[in-house]
Structure 1
Amino acid sequence: MNGTAKDIRLGADIGGTFTDIALDIDGRLFSTKVLTDYAAPERAILDGIGIVTREAGISPGALQTIIHGTTLATNALIERRGARTAFVTTEGFRDVIEMRTESRFEQYDLDLKLPEPLIPREDRFTVAGRIGAEGQELQPLDEAALERVAERIAAGGFRSVAIGFIHSYANPAHEQRARAILQRRLDLPVSISAEVSPQMREFERFNTVCANAYVRPQIGEYLTRLQASLKEMGATCPVFMIHSGGGLISVETASLFPVRLVESGPAGGAIFAADIARRFGLGSVFSYDMGGTTAKICLIEDFEPRTARTFEVARTYRFAKGSGMPISIPVIEMIEIGAGGGSIARVDAMGRIQTGPESAGSEPGPACYGRGGARPTITDADLALGKLDADNFAGGAIRLDAGASDAAIVADVGKRLSLDTLSAAFGICEVVDENMANAARVHAVENGRDIADNVMIAFGGAAPLHAARLCEKLGIDRCIVPQGAGVGSAIGFLKAPFGYEALTSRLVRLSRFDATEVNALLGELTRTAESFVRAGTSGAIRRDITAFMRYAGQGWEIPVPLPDRPFDASDADRLTALFREHYARFFGRAIDGFAGLEIEIVTWSVKAQDERPAPERHALAPAAREVEPQATRDVFDPGSGAMRPAGIIERTALRAGDHVAGPAIIVESETSTLLTALFDAVVQADGSILLERKGSAR
């Protein structure tokens, strides 16, 4: 390989345990997994780039594009490891981020504990000044008070500042002026809510700008180090970041708005799964991404991941909506739980096995890694149950210590519950599998769907090991494990478009619809969105226009797609009909018979992205020939509750049409696919593995 190929792109995904690297050279894929380095996460990327470029026979200087996603921002928020941040807000609104809203995620729990705010009360400052709901200035900004606040921040050891004023989405003038005053006195990054999240609802907007400021120093420093290190190794190509909405943005934009990276790694996984769904023509899919630290579940309909304007980080109460930290940005909608291969198992005060969200990560890692970990993890339980080969884990790069796994499981779980090693390990895996099944059910119910109607797409280092058992619990008959599943999110980065969604809250009642005003607003949003996209591409751009609408007086809105064209006065009736149609689709019927019931648009969105070629289409193919296993290994069978011989087959030895009967394990360097006794597998034309429940009819 001489580095003259037309398209050389590399995806790098930093996870809590592993950093995944995927290199694509004109459709040829080279990939690897490297343990994440917490002290300097960029080191794992550099090591991974070295491995795949050597394997491909090119130099790092031949890379044409690097696309990066990371859980660093997410982990900083969940683990509260961000910078000390000052929050400046409107007088009287100091406690909004602590009081939250009147909603209770558990109505009858008298001991309900709300998540702690990111910024403690002593670090929140108020100033006089007031913007009205329609953008009018009701009270001038107290600039003298801001000068005094700047002095207190300068003396307080803060590393970042967030500004959130009431109704700034309607008029950002006060926030912009406050930033100018503070930056004149402080050498600190200042984030304003009118730029980070220009949407109504103060709690969500304030919390989002606080989160952005909280992680901004850490992410900015990391991205600066990464770019410098890449140049040192000879990789001088552009670096782009994948954001939570599934598009690509520049490193400079990511440094200013790092909160947009909070779901960047999982977003790549959802894009990967959507590409597989489109390839096989599957309209109802849910992606299951289980790595070393977390598991993510996302519904994909008509080949597109579901999206939202707000999501929650770190739900704390049985996956209940409202129990997490709200982040108000465009995002691929998914549910994420602390259930990865490195999730630590324990016995709680009531004698129940619990797993996660605490993870052994890569430092020290599971007990079987032999890196100092002494507590049992999901990986340790999988090893004890025979799902993993101690001598051939990660392609032989890591030799696992089965004795250390057994000792950790017995010490922390077995002795507490009077269970032998096998029973304790099975209990650990059953708990984590049931937690994931519950999370999938909750996510489907929240979106009005039956999870059993979907095809599962499983990827991530640990998901193929647990996918068949999860299908059993959810009543799902088919699951696809794509090629490259172990590094699925990194491959998804390579398929992501350059895209950005610009949105703002501007209340417009259809009875007073002003086409000129609306066209001007959408024009401004279009220019904003396209400016970010043009930083990475000069190709054709597709725009999606969405209005978030409701009946006047309702608390929440529904998304209504709009035509991409200028509006005129007659469009008020068309928008009314569109809203009623989508309202009926959401709730069964529109509301009729109430005189004077008005319809209003609350938030406007323009999503711009470049066009990407569609993948080659395939039909799910039946089996053509039986494949005998190359070896066998005893693996725990949940049905019989005992170890049972399972066939072992190398994935590289399989060809399209091959049929593998369960129980069996299909092994590869970055993951392994476990077929329980209830499932068989058929290899598809693109190399994907289709798991099918025995006796099920398509």
Structure 2
Amino acid sequence: MARIGVDVGGTNTDLVLETGAGVFYHKVPTTLKNQSIGVVEGVQSICKMAGIEPSEIETIVHGTTTATNITIEHNGSECGMITSEGFRDILHIGRHKRPHNFSLHFDVPWQSQPLVKRRNRISVAERIVPPTGEVLTPLDEDAVRDACKLFKKRGIESVVIGFMFAFLNNAHERRARDIVLEEIPEAYVTLSSEVANVMREYERFSTAAMNSYVGPKTAFYLRDLEAKLREAGVGSKLRIIQSNGGVSTVEACAKRPVRILMSGPAGGVIGGASEGEMVGTGNIITVDIGGTSADISTIPEHQIKIMNPRDTYVSGHPVLTPMIDLVTIGAGGGSIAYIDEAGGFNVGPRSAGSEPGPACYGRGGTEPTVTDAQIVLGRLDPDMALGGDLQLDAELSRKAVEEYIAKPLGMNVTDAALGIIKIINNNMALAIRSNSVARGVDPREFSIMPFGGAGPLHGVALAEATSAKDVIVPVAPGITAAVGLLKTDLQYEHTEALIIELNAAKDAEYARINEAVASLRDKVAAELAADDIPQEAQKIEVIAECRYHGQGFELRASMPDGPVTAETYRTITDSFHDQHQLDYGYSYRDAEVELITLRAIGSASARKIEIPKVQETDGSSVDRALMFVRTTTFDNGQTLETPRYDRSKLYAGDVVNGPAILIQHNSTTLVPPGYAAETLAHGNTRIRLVGAA
């Protein structure tokens, strides 16, 4: 049976298809008005390439930017919120944390772009108190009904319900939801206790508000895509990759879209990690450069990192959901170069996207982009884009760079194009350092792995800028994120808040912990079973999130294999001390450790895509792959006659010395002078300085 991975980016939609006959790759333009149209067209096209019917597809795994784009474009649903009396302005006040401590001019996103407008935040009488979740003040049900009448009058159908201490007892939130659905049957309702069942009311409310803000449009997109695939004859399961790298169902993601806010970049990180395993390199810095953005992640020793909850912000709003640790900046092939009002030379974050696209696309775009600069420098061949499927106009690129950059700055077109490339490379290098050096990671011990349609054109420059040891180019750079989708497992998570001082715990506290663990395991097992995963294939891990008494945030710690008792609780505390030492460089072994949250992670292994090996070199010349020779300008300003090679005709063990350009359908790899590109066993390429070990 066949499986497809589909990754939708801002410019292109990437697909990979695995069948018994082999692995097929494809790229189609993203249909921005309705991404599902491009996805369905791409699925139909790649099935034709492989010579199979859509009905033969067993599974489609999808990475989507729908929810992310809603937060970026600020076009989510108009939301209403029902909250505890006296706490209406929690979403506005936040944590009194200044984005820039010493600046008088900065934006506070939760105030300038609120997820729920103040007039739509209605407080009602109710109160649940810690530490047991006892009801102090019953829920005022009439006030909830009055709030619903106001929402109906204002045309609001997306409702957030967030009450104080609901993570200890969510009875009031559940009752409020019942009332909302009685009054507004078609409402999209989010409970804070269901999307973030943890302490910290601001972060919990913000997460719930984000869920309702992106929920209706995201749910519509996912269900519309599922329906369109059915109409196209695809009866397979549709699975969505989540921000934590796990895969879930359409229905689960439609209910909790906060879990897929980083869906798109997650596939790239997983794909990069798997490419590292293929070449036997554990330390990887992935740089996924598409048409609109660059996503950067550091992977030490094959371990994909999950962000600390204190860092999980989306468009300036805290969102308490597990996310792969990565940095995203506005740097891609479509990033626009411009001169600002002060005469400064800038590139990005504004992007031309796929509509109208770079000037060379000839679709109405007139401003110069990174892609246009690459064409001016001869690094992209206008007649070879997407294997010749996309014809580009080099004259339009030259005209755009000259008009918008060269003439205003009084330089020639080539220097202007080099300036565009150098600026975008420096922007990405700074982001790489923020995800590595700034966190105590030495890039000299890591390989840069550039992918995405534009990635391999920048790989060597980024390695030089960050002192990385070499560059590894994946088998299908432009499709790596889609390949990652077929490398991940099904995954669900549930949390339960328990505030317990472990060193002072007694039998009653241990019983509460063990009861919560059992409940979490049951919830996760039920979700896996509902997805047709047999019990023997289910893997459930429970972790403890702990802190020192009074500390601001938690760290993850291991749980004992069996029940937590007076004899086994030190497994948790010792693990916490070790993690604190690792993350912060110190620990207090005698200090009090608080258990704050239990988190259950349920997973089921999926069949991983297998990339076939390529033919080993027979000792013949690499000229068998030579296509033609054209002039190309490199970063040092040299313009050299540069051979182009068909990457698909290079064998394992072949070495191509720079200057050279390796061409394939989904991407182009630049090998500057002084560097050599070696083809590895599966068709990956390692680029390093000539003479380097």
Q: Which range, TM-score by smaller chain?
A: over 0.9
Note closer, same or farther for the CA distance 1:566–1:314 as it changes in structure 2 (3 Å cut).
closer
Distance in 2 (alpha carbons) for counterparts of 1:454 and 1:693: 15
Contact 2:557 2:573 in 1 (8 A): no
The 3-state SS of whatever aligns with 2:569 is helix
Which residue does 2:498 correspond to in 1? 506
Contact in 2 for aligned 1:249/1:532 (Cα 8 Å): no
Q: Using the TM superposition, name which of 536-545 and 509-518 deviates more.
A: 536-545
**Paired AA for residue 665 in structure 1:** I
Taking the aligned partners of 2:440 and 2:165, their CA distance within structure 1 comes to 32
When residues 647 and 190 of structure 1 are mapped into structure 2, their CA distance, relative to the original with a 3 A threshold, is same
Counterpart mapping for 1:522-533 below 5 A: 522-533=517-528
What SS does the aligned partner of 1:30 have?
Answer: strand
Task: Name the counterpart of 1:684.
Answer: 680
> 2:558 touches 2:571 (CA, 8 Å); kept in 1?
no
> Judging changes above 3 Å, is the alpha-carbon distance between structure 1 residues 355 and 129 closer, same or farther for their aligned structure 2 residues?
farther
Q: Distance in 2 between matches of 1:38 and 1:83?
A: 18
AA matched with 1:370: G
Contact 1:15 1:265 in 2 (8 A): yes
Contact 2:312–2:321 (CA under 8 A) maintained in structure 1: no
Mapped contact 2:487–2:608 kept (Cα < 8 A): no
Identify the residue that residue 14 of structure 1 maps to in structure 2. 8
Structure 1 residues 25 and 182, CA gap change in structure 2 (3 angstroms)? same
Find the aligned partners of 2:192 and 2:584 in 1 and give their Cα distance: 32
Determine the structure 1 residue equivalent to 2:268: 269
Query: Residues 519 and 279 (structure 1 numbering): CA distance in 2 closer, same or farther, change over 3 Å?
Result: farther
Look up the match of 2:392. 400
Give the partner amino acid of 1:679. Y
Q: Trace 1:645-664 onto structure 2 (pairs within 5 A).
A: 645-664=641-660
* Match of residue 100 from structure 1: 94
The answer on whether the counterparts of 1:312 and 1:327 sit within 8 Å (CA) in structure 2 is: yes
Q: Tell me if structure 1 keeps the 8 A contact 2:279–2:680.
A: no
Q: In the alignment, what sits opposite 2:63?
A: 69
Deviation at 1:501, TM superposition (A): 2.2
Shift of 1:354: 2.1
Q: Which runs of 5+ in 2 are unaligned?
A: none
SS in 2 for 1:336: strand
| Post-superposition offset of 1:590 | 2.0
Kindly indicate whether residue 209 of structure 2 is the aligned counterpart of residue 215 of structure 1: no
1:39 aligns with 2:25: no
Letter in 2 for 1:574: T
2:41 maps to 1:58:
no
Give the Cα–Cα distance (whole angstroms) in 2 for the partners of residues 161 and 616 of structure 1: 44
CA gap of 1:131–1:414, structure 2 versus 1, over 3 A, is: farther
Structure 1 residues 157, 309: CA separation in 2 closer, same or farther (over 3 Å shift)? farther
Q: Secondary structure at the match of 2:691?
A: coil
Matched, 1:251 2:250: yes
Report how far residue 390 of structure 1 moved.
0.3
CA distance in 1, matches of 2:543, 2:344: 46
Q: 2:512 pairs with 514, 517, 526, which one?
A: 517
- Structure 2 counterpart of 1:58, one-letter code: I
Q: 2 CA distance for matches of 1:159 and 1:693?
A: 59
8 Å CA contact 2:560, 2:568 repeated in 1: no
The 8 Å contact of residues 464 and 673 in structure 1, kept in 2 or not, is answered as yes
Q: Aligned partners of 1:587, 1:301: CA distance in 2, in Å?
A: 17
Paired residue secondary structure (2:62): strand
Q: Look up the match of 1:145.
A: 143
- Cα distance in 2 for residues equivalent to 1:299 and 1:669: 27
Q: 1:398 to 1:146 in 2, by over 3 A?
A: same
Normalised by the length of structure 2, the TM-score is 0.93
1:139 Cα deviation after fit? 2.4
The partner residue of 2:485 within 469, 487, 493 is 493
1:349 corresponding residue in structure 2: 341
Do the aligned residues in 2 keep the contact of 1:249 with 1:536 (CA within 8 Å)?
no
| Cα distance between partner residues in 1 of 2:684 and 2:592 | 51
Return the alpha-carbon distance in structure 1 between the equivalents of residues 193 and 141 of structure 2: 19
Q: Aligned to 1:302, what secondary structure does the other structure show?
A: helix
The amino acid that maps onto 1:584 is Q
Percent of aligned positions with the same letter in both sequences? 35
Aligned AA (1:408): A
Contact in 1 for aligned 2:241/2:248 (Cα 8 Å): yes
Partner of 1:385: 377
Distance 1:141 1:272 in 2: 48
**1:536, 1:490 → 2: CA distance?**
24
Once residues 23 and 614 of structure 1 are traced to their aligned partners in structure 2, the CA distance between those partners, rounded to angstroms, is: 12
Structure 1 residue 467 and structure 2 residue 459: aligned?
yes
* 1:110 corresponding residue in structure 2: 104
1:545–1:564 CA contact under 8 A, matched in 2: no
Q: Separation in 1 of the partners of 2:67 and 2:595?
A: 32
Which whole-Å CA distance do the structure 2 matches of 1:507 and 1:447 have between them? 30
8 Å contact 1:172–1:194 — kept in the other structure? Answer: yes
Whole-angstrom distance in 2 between the partners of 1:622 and 1:600:
57
Which residue does the alignment assign to 1:456? 448
What is the deviation of 1:384?
1.4
AA aligned to 2:524 is: A
Secondary structure of 1:296's partner? strand
Change in Cα spacing, 1:96 to 1:625, as seen in structure 2 (3 Å) is farther
Counterpart selection for 1:90 from 70, 75, 84: 84
Structure 2 counterpart of 1:162: 160
* Alignment-mate amino acid for residue 569 of structure 2: A
CA distance in 1, matches of 2:321, 2:71: 15
How much has 1:536 moved relative to structure 2?
A: 5.0
CA contact (8 A) 1:378 1:428 kept: yes
Cα contact 1:296–1:337 (8 A) shared by 2: yes
Query: CA separation of 1:27/1:541 partners in 2, compared to 1, >3 Å: closer, same or farther?
Result: farther
Q: Cα deviation per residue 1:599-624 (whole Å; 9 max; x = unaligned)?
A: 111122121212356888999x9997
Matched, 1:669 2:665: yes
Q: Which residue of 1 aligns with 2:434?
A: 442
Per the alignment, do residues 353 and 87 of structure 1 end up closer, same or farther by CA in structure 2, a change over 3 Å counting?
farther
User: How far 1:163 moved relative to its partner?
Assistant: 1.7
Structure 2 matches for 1:424-443, cutoff 5 A? 424-443=416-435
Specify whether residues 540 and 32 from structure 1 end up closer, same or farther in structure 2 by C-alpha distance, changes over 3 A only: same
SS of the residue aligned with 1:332? coil
Q: Distance in 2 between matches of 1:656 and 1:224?
A: 44
Is the CA contact 2:241–2:267 (under 8 Å) kept in the aligned structure 1? yes
Cα 1:364–1:313, aligned 2, differ >3 Å: closer, same or farther? farther
Q: Equivalent residue for 1:584? A: 581
CA RMSD of aligned residues (A): 2.4
Go from structure 1 to structure 2 and tell me whether the alpha carbon gap of 1:51 and 1:101 turns closer, same or farther (over 3 Å shift): same
| Residue 445 of structure 1, CA deviation | 4.1
Q: Report if the CA contact (8 A) 2:452-2:481 is conserved.
A: yes
Q: Decide whether the 8 Å contact of 1:633 with 1:646 is kept in 2.
A: yes
**Contact kept? 1:499, 1:532, Cα under 8 Å:** no
Number of equivalent positions: 679
Separation in 1, partners of 2:108, 2:94: 9
Secondary structure of the equivalent of 2:208? helix
Aligned partners of 1:616 and 1:653: how far apart in 2?
20
Deviations 1:60-109 (A, max 9, x none): 11111111110011011111121211222222222222222133332211
- TM-score when normalising by structure 1: 0.93
Q: Please give the alpha-carbon distance, in whole angstroms, between the structure 1 residues aligned to 2:429 and 2:627.
A: 32
Whether 1:482 and 2:489 are equivalent positions in the alignment is no
- Residue 282 to residue 505, structure 1, CA distance change in 2 (3 Å): farther
The structural deviation recorded for 1:325 is 2.5
CA contact (8 A) 2:308 2:555 kept: no
| Aligned AA (2:671) | L
Aligned to 1:25: 19
Spell out the pairing of 1:282-321 with structure 2 (5 A cutoff): 282-308=281-307, 310=309, 311-312=311-312
Distance 2:200 2:343 in 1: 42
Gap change, CA 1:613 and 1:23, over 3 Å in 2: closer
- Cα 1:81–1:693 shift into 2, 3 Å: farther
Structure 1 stretch 512-521 or stretch 146-155: which is displaced more?
512-521
Structure 1 pair 74–346 and aligned structure 2 pair: CA distance change class (3 A) = same
Give the aligned partner of residue 368 of structure 1: 360
Residue 631 (structure 1) aligns with: 628
